[in-house]
Amino acid sequence: MKLLKNLGLACLTLTAVGCSTVSYQSMGIRGGYSEKQINEYTYRVHYSGNGSVTLEQAIEFALLRSAVIAHQQGVDTFTSAKYSANVSRTYAGTPGVYVNKPSAYLDISLSNEQATDKSVACDKFASLFRLMAMQEAPRPVTHDTQRCIEQVQQKYQLTEQQIFDKK
């Protein structure tokens, strides 16, 4: 009976681990991205992860979603501003077990200006993002739309289908 109980617990654990993986995807029960259009040129983008997503990944997936929005709107660059990031601890239902859930929020402005040498690479932005968010003094940062998509796609080995949410 004890063996059966342990086997059941192992299956349940494996199922939970298999369901907990999250990557770049639209918001669902396992987390993901969402956005809200504030005006014609401004969006608020949010990425919420689960226990298998790091804060760096949450930030980069929020930036990737921002770049996809810019791409869909036909603009070459976007500027991120008003960003924040946090990690909440959630009770996992097992005594003493908590899951860290990172979230990243940012407002983006779309523009059709050519990217400058002063644009910040999306795959290197997470550390700068966290530093400015901690100082509560975020400054606007410009990103090249296509380079951002390419950098994050390569870093996380995402397919075009995953990035552009093609069913």
- Which pLDDT belongs to residue 131? 72
State both tokens at 58. Answer: 């949450």
pLDDT, the chain, mean: 81
- Which pLDDT belongs to residue 115? 53
Identify the residue with better confidence: 42 or 134. 42
Would you call 101 helix, strand, or coil by DSSP? strand
| Residue showing tokens 């400054």 | 139
pLDDT in tens, 58-81: 999 999 999 999 999 999 999 998
15-34 as b/e, with b when 16 or more CB fall inside 10 Å?
A: eeeeeeebbbeeeeebbbbe
- Which pLDDT belongs to residue 66? 96
- Which pLDDT belongs to residue 167? 53
For residue 106, the surrounding DSSP H or E stretch is: strand 98-111
- Which pLDDT belongs to residue 146? 94
CB 160 within 8 A of CB 166: yes
Q: What number of other Cβ atoms are within 10 A of residue 95's Cβ? A: 6
pLDDT in tens, 92-142: 888 888 888 999 999 999 987 665 566 788 877 887 776 776 676 668 889
Q: What percent of the chain has pLDDT over 90?
A: 47
* The residue count for the chain: 167
Q: What number of other Cβ atoms are within 10 A of residue 58's Cβ? A: 27
Q: How confident is the model at residue 18 (pLDDT cuts 50, 70, 90)?
A: very low
State both tokens at 98. Answer: 């908590």
As a whole number of angstroms, the distance between CA 78 and CA 145 comes to: 7
Instruction: Quote the pTM value.
Output: 0.81
Cα angle 88, 14, 29 (rounded to 5 degrees) comes to 45
